[in-house]
């Protein structure tokens, strides 16, 4: 049985198959708009779509069968697995980069995100291991952090346009909290670069450590301030060089950690020293996470 979207597409005269213009595949998403897709669509959830190579400049508009369309999105999996892709430039009309849009583009060295971009999906840039820099436009208001969008981006440096929801300090990506008009642009930590090494002291303004923010990097030590109220899931994973964590809570049970699933994967807890405030060691020993085999030393 055809699904509802296919029936709507048929009744509205919208082409159900992608069309191909000047080296790029498109899919109509409304009467006036298209997203960029790939040659595998609609079966585009394969591990490798591998539809593109070389340098790609996406136009703001495209014409097909004498009908003009605005190019407003990079669809999920659009460039996924295009291992010969080297650069992509987005037009000012793009509002969305879908999940896994550039995942596993292992030779992608340059990507220009446009002002006007509003949202980036989960795992959008996963394993773009040659991507060296990425500039976040001020228009970006949302990153789907349910999965790490920069996992495997081992060479990546990020910058951010001033005045937006995101900022970068010392190479680390921060996000302003929803409804936060206090001027605190570092409410959330969103990503610590994988290539970052040495010790990192999280700024006092940080309240929330986002999903996968502390994962897969080269840090040897990290200092978490007392102001942090929440640590979300999948942090402290595959940080193979991490030997010391400084925790500044007087009472660790006040920190929301119910979402912190599967921490310290690929790590040996007995090799990690926890430095905790004077007089609090017993509280940390009794804690469901911090009492699991770490060396606990009072400061």
140-168 b/e (C-beta count within 10 Å ≥ 16 → b): beebbbebbbbbbbbebebebbeebbbbb
Per-residue pLDDT of the chain (299 residues; tens, 9 = 90+): 334 333 333 334 444 578 999 999 999 988 899 999 988 765 555 556 788 999 999 999 999 999 999 999 999 999 999 999 999 999 999 999 999 999 999 999 999 999 999 999 999 999 999 999 999 999 999 888 777 889 999 999 999 999 999 999 999 999 987 655 455 567 889 999 999 999 999 999 999 998 889 989 999 999 999 999 988 888 888 899 999 999 999 999 888 875 556 688 888 999 999 999 999 999 999 998 899 899 999 98
Instruction: For residues 208 and 201, give the distance between their C-alpha atoms in angstroms, rounded to a whole number.
Output: 14
Cβ proximity of 94 and 115 under 8 Å: no
Q: Give the phi and the psi of residue 230 in degrees, each rounded to 5.
A: -140, 135
Q: Is 77 helix (H, G, I), strand (E, B) or coil?
A: coil
Instruction: For residues 225 and 61, give the distance between their C-alpha atoms in angstroms, rounded to a whole number.
Output: 48
Q: Which domains does the chain have, with CATH numbers?
A: 1-161 (3.80.10.10), 165-267 (3.80.10.10)
């Amino acid at each position: 049985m055809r699904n509802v979207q296919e029936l709507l597409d048929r009744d509205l005269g919208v082409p159900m198959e992608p069309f191909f213009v000047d080296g790029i595949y498109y899919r109509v998403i409304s009467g006036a708009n298209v997203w960029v897709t790939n040659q595998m669509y609609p079966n585009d959830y394969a591990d490798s779509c591998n539809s593109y190579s070389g340098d790609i400049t996406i136009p703001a508009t495209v014409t097909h069968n004498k009908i003009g369309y605005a190019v407003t999105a990079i669809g999920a999996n659009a460039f996924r697995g295009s291992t010969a892709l080297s650069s992509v430039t987005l037009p000012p009309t793009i509002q969305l980069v879908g999940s896994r849009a550039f995942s596993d583009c292992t030779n992608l060295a340059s990507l220009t995100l446009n002002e006007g971009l509003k949202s980036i999906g989960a795992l959008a840039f996963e394993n773009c291991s040659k991507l060296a820099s990425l500039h976040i436009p001020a228009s970006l208001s949302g990153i789907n952090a349910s999965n790490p969008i920069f996992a495997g981006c081992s060479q990546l440096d990020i910058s951010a346009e001033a005045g937006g929801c995101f900022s970068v300090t010392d190479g680390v990506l921060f996000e302003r909290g929803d409804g936060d008009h206090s001027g605190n642009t570092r409410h959330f930590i969103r990503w610590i670069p994988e290539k970052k090494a040495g010790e990192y002291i999280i700024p006092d303004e940080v309240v929330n450590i986002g999903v996968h923010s502390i994962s897969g990097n080269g840090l040897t030590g990290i200092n978490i301030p007392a102001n942090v109220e929440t640590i979300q899931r999948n942090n402290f994973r595959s940080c193979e060089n991490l030997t010391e964590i400084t925790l500044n809570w007087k009472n660790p049970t006040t920190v929301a950690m119910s979402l912190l699933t599967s921490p310290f994967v690929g790590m040996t807890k007995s090799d990690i020293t926890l430095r905790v405030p004077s007089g609090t060691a017993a509280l940390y020993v009794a804690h469901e996470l911090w009492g699991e085999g770490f060396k606990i030393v009072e400061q």
